[in-house]
Structure formats: C-alpha cells, structure tokens
Structure 1
Amino acid sequence: MTSDPRRPRREVLAQAVVRLRDGGVQSPEHDAAELLAHTLGITRGALPLVDEVAADDHDRFLALIARRAAREPLQHLTGAAGFRHVELQVGPGVFVPRPETELLAGWAIDQAREIADLAGRAPVVVDLCTGSGAIARAVADEVPAAEVHAVELDEAALVWAGRNLAGTGVDLRAGSMDDAFDDLAGTVDVVVCNPPYIPLEAWESVAPEARDHDPHLALFSGDDGLDAIRVLQRRARLLLRPGGVVGAEHADVQGESAPGVFLDAGGWSDVRDHRDLADRPRFLTARLAR
C-alpha cells in the first residue's frame, strides 16, 4: 500500500509561510498564497476551493518559495504586477512598480481628465523614466483621449515597457529624461515621473528585493538622492505649457527637500507635497507659472 502523494493545502501554505518568514519576507502569508495560486494556475481567491496539492505542483511551489525566501521579488516569480486597473509584465531588468506609485499615477490621471473636460481637447501627458511603462499605461487606460508619451533610458527596462505599452497608442521612445521630447517643448499639459531618488549612501538600507534585483539606474540618484529631480525640474520647465503641471515621486525623507528643488528654482507655483496611505511624504506637484 502506497501513501497518497497529495498534501493538504493548509499544511502546504503553513510550511511555506514559516520558510518565508524565516527568510525575512515582510508579507509571508500573502506571498505564499500568491505563489501557490500561480503554481496552480488559479486566482488567490480560488485557493479555499483547493483541498489538496498534487506532488508535482508541490515541488514547483517549493522551488518558488525557496527563491522568494532568498528575496527574489514576488513579481519576478509570477511575471506580473498589478497597477491600478491594469496588469503589467515584469521581470529581471525592470523596476517593479510599487503600490505607492499608484497615487502619483492617479494624480496625473485626474489632471489629464480635468483638461479633457474643461478645455475640450486631448491632454498631452509625458511620463519620464517610464520603467515598466506603469504610469503611461495607467493614463492611457483611464484617459483614452490623452496623448501619452513615455521615455526610458535603460535598454532592458525599455523592452518591458514596449511589451506593456504595445497597442495602447503611447509614444514610447528610448532616451534620457534630460533631453527627451524637444519636439514637444511648450506643449505638454502634464509631466509625471517616478525618478531614482535613493541617496548612494543609503545602499545598505535598501530592501534586498530592490537592491539586488531592480536596475540601479532606477534606484540611486547622487549623494542626496535629488539629482534626477533637479534634472526633472529643468526638463519640465521646457516641456510644459504655461500653467502646466508636474508630479514626481520621492523618498519619504524628502518631503521638504524634493519640493525645495522647485521652490529654489523659481518660476513655479502651487508647489506642494502629498502623503501616501501610510501618511508618509510620497510625491510633489508644481505648476509652471503662467
């Protein structure tokens, strides 16, 4: 008589949670459930309907758990990341979009909608440092009338952006934010950017998922973390039409210094900072003087 090779789902998940927690993963229950659902080809909501896990599925699940416990990003293992109302393809070579960035995208979407409604024309939106194309994709998805442009410097990230923006009508270009879109100078309504903003000296404090797997070009930005935001200030000034707006994410310790880049430069009004759902400083916005 041979033993049943199937294992109870609850037991499989419980053991995986312990493994992930021992590895320092911050959300072991969530990640274990996501990986088991991915292994079985079902949604996480359907997991309670699964009583047992077959041996071959269990083996594949354990392999994913081992990689996650070694702090490989969850999204690299599933190949996907949800962002607002869209699902993005992600993997090695591209910055995995964070939930906090959805707030910045939401602000850009609101600005674009307001222009479409009040001005009665297609709003022009530029996404600098687009990475996976997350913000550009969200704007195109939620404001179909918008004319959306995006740029990315890193070659590997550009490939992912191309996949995520294919068929959306977004104008995706290869290049650097500091000289992108000269042809749009003075015509843009909204500039949005999730730039690198981590100080080089903060290397050791960065979570292994980001430090060891996200492109460093998307993470670090000079000694104080503000180099890219300084470039953004200059570029947004050139691209925006008078009264146009710019928004940019920053680190939670940059709630004063990041908006300060725009205040010190002059020529900007309505410079303010916005907090995330955890009440931490998260992104700045400013309006080009008319």
Structure 2
Amino acid sequence: MIEALLREATPQLAAVSESPRAEAERLLAEVLGSSRTRLAAGLAAAPSAEQVRRYQQWLARRAAGEPYAYLSGQQPFRQIELQVNPAVLIPRADTEHLVDWALERIAAWQATGCAAPQVWDVCTGSGCVALSIAEASPAARLLASDLSPAALAVARGNAEALGLSRVELVEADGLDWPTPVPFELIVGNPPYIAEDDPHLPALRHEPRLALVSGPDGLDCLRRLIAQAPARLASGGWLLLEHGYDQGAAVRALLLAAGFVEVSSRRDYGGQERVSGGRWPGVAR
C-alpha cells in the first residue's frame, strides 16, 4: 500500500519539487511518524485510513505550493527545532550568518569582563534568532519583539519548548518599546522585499507583514537604523539582515546615521546578506 501511495503522489509534486519522489516519501514518513529509511526498507507500518486521508490533504496543499514546513509544523535552524505556522516566516539557513555575527559580538563584549550583554532581537517572528543566541550564549540577556501578536505566540511556544523562557518577548513596532536599558547589541531580520518584487508570488503562503517593506524594500531597515542609536549603549552594535542586492544601500544608511566599522557578511550563496556597524563610543 505504501508503494502505491508513493507512485500516486510523486507526479502530483513534480511542479513544486526538484525531487518529487523524495518529497513524497518525506511527507508520508512524517504522517506515519516514521522515517524515509524505514519506508525504503519496508519496515514502516501500513497507514490507517485516517493517515491516508491526512497524507492526501498534505499532498494537495504541497502541490498548491504550500511550504513543507507549514505542513509538518516544524523547521530546523542551527542547533534547534522550531515550531512554525503561516503566522511566521520559515527560518532560512542564510539567517544563521546573522546569529554567527551576533555571537561574535557577544563573545567580544564578554572578553572585556562584562559577562551579561543586553541583546534585542527585533522582528523576531518564530524567535529563531533570539532563541539561537540564547541557546548558544546563556549569559546574554535577551529581549525579542514583533509587531504581530500571532508571531509572538509562536515565539513564546518555541521558547517554552526549548526551555528558554528567560527570553523576554514583547509586542512592539520596530524599536518603539519603552525600556530604560541600553543594549550592547541589536539584531534583526526585518521585512525587506519591495512591494512589486516579482518573487512575492512564490512567497504567497508566508506572512506579507514579515516580507514587504515599501517601494524599495528599505522602509523598515531605514526606520530601525534611525531608531537604534537611542537604544544602543556606547560602542554597541546593530546587525541587520537584508536582501541580496541591498548591502550597499544598508551600509550607506548606517554610515549616514553615524555608525562606524560598517561592513557586510555574505550568505551561503556568496551574496551580501547581513550588514552592521558600531555606534561610536568604547569599542567592544
């Protein structure tokens, strides 16, 4: 029965997957609570009628372009497994570069003898950035914010599931949230896609609020760069993810705002993906 299901499913996924058979197996394994290895070895139990119905529903949704992560409700990111749903963007591997840079800055701060840097993750979505930082750097004090209450509910669920409830989660529009505490580090993966970007139809299942930011995609980035100096400690850093072709524009915005040591990091595809700079003061 399993082989018959897979033969029927594979052509349905041909238009949305480069490896339709493998994805058909992956979907069925998820439904069965098994693995592709057990499926291939004939060790998986035959599906129940309810599991067949669920599998066919998943196939229809996937064939319509819905991402696999929304079907399974999970997405791995760095060392953690995250719950996701259509209220949040699906975490991408390229965002790991933002986390890596943030951890470098935290380590540099701690090397000065200051063991508990204050870190703000803005536009947190699923919480992938804040929770990855918290998991890798237990001493860091984390605040994470998002404009969407539905996204914050997902982030809170992830924080609880991972035992990282020490991350404070608040609803805020950008950096517009009352806190007297200056931050040694502000990081964020804000919306940065232009309103008329031709790639948007392919992202139609993900929340537009977390994707689109004005005619050139830079509206939210401009606002965060303008807001950050009032929130940063002397010598604090601002690190922002952006589009593959926005590095030069974001560096120019950082320099115009008064940041120093401005530079960009490249993603796994070799494109500029994260830019940042230090607010003048004591270097950390």
Alignment TM-score, normalising by the size of structure 1: 0.87
Contact 2:186–2:238 (Cα < 8 Å) also in 1: yes
Is residue 234 of structure 2 the alignment partner of residue 242 of structure 1? yes
Match of 1:192 among 183, 187, 194: 187
1:31-53: per-residue Cα shift (whole Å, max 9, x none)? 33431221111345554444566
DSSP-derived class of the 2:124 partner: coil
1:125 to 2:133 alignment: no
Q: 1:106 aligns with which of 75, 95, 100?
A: 100
Deviations, residues 205-232 of structure 1 (Å, cap 9, x unaligned): 2253x22x22211011011110111111
Partner of 1:3: none
Are the counterparts in 2 of residues 116 and 145 from structure 1 also a CA contact under 8 Å?
Answer: no
Counterpart amino acid of residue 234 in structure 2: P
Aligned to 2:167, which of 165, 170, 173?
Answer: 170
Q: Give the equivalent residue in structure 2 for 1:276.
A: 267
Contact persistence 2:262–2:278 (CA under 8 A): yes
CA distance in 2, matches of 1:247, 1:30: 37
* Residue 75 in structure 1 maps to residue 69 in structure 2: yes
Asked if 1:159 corresponds to 2:153, the answer is yes
Task: Tell me by how many angstroms 1:14 deviates.
Answer: 5.3
Moved more, 158-167 or 51-60: 51-60
Q: Is the 8 A contact 1:268 1:289 kept in 2?
A: yes
1:287 aligns with 2:282: no
Aligned partner of residue 179 in structure 1, secondary structure? coil
Query: Is contact 2:126–2:158 with CA below 8 Å preserved after alignment?
Result: yes
Residue 136 of structure 1: how far off its partner (Å): 0.7
Going from structure 1 to structure 2, the CA distance change for 1:146 and 1:33 (only over 3 Å counts) comes to farther
Residue 54 of structure 1: how far off its partner (Å): 2.3
1:253 aligns with 245
| Runs of 5+ consecutive residues of structure 2 not aligned to the other structure | none
Q: After TM superposition, which residue ranges in structure 1, 4 or more long, deviate above 6 angstroms?
A: none
Normalized against structure 2, the TM-score is what? 0.89
- Cα distance between partner residues in 2 of 1:28 and 1:235: 46
Q: SS where residue 87 of structure 2 aligns?
A: coil
> Is this contact kept in 1: 2:38–2:44, CA < 8 A?
no
Equivalent residue letter for 1:199: A
Distance of aligned partners of 1:84 and 1:224 in 2 relative to their CA distance in 1, 3 Å threshold: same
Checking the alignment, whether the CA contact within 8 Å between 2:75 and 2:82 is kept in structure 1 is yes
1:41 aligns with 2:33: yes
The verdict on how the C-alpha distance between 1:34 and 1:113 changes in structure 2, with shifts beyond 3 A counting, is farther
Equivalence map 1:214-229=2 (5 Å):
214-229=206-221
Q: Give the secondary structure class of the aligned counterpart of 2:180.
A: helix
Number of equivalenced pairs: 276
RMSD: 2.1
Offset of 1:17 from its aligned partner?
A: 3.6
1:25 and 1:71 in contact (8 A); partners too: no
The answer on whether the counterparts of 2:175 and 2:228 sit within 8 Å (CA) in structure 1 is: no
In structure 2, relative to structure 1, the CA distance for the partners of 1:232 and 1:12 (3 Å cut) is same
AA matched with 1:85: Q
Query: What displacement does 1:12 show?
Result: 4.3
Superposition map of 1:6-155 within 5 A: 6-8=1-3, 12-13=5-6, 15-22=8-15, 24-25=16-17, 28=20, 31-44=23-36, 46-51=38-43, 54-56=46-48, 57-155=51-149
- 2:97·2:265 contact (CA, 8 Å) conserved in 1? no
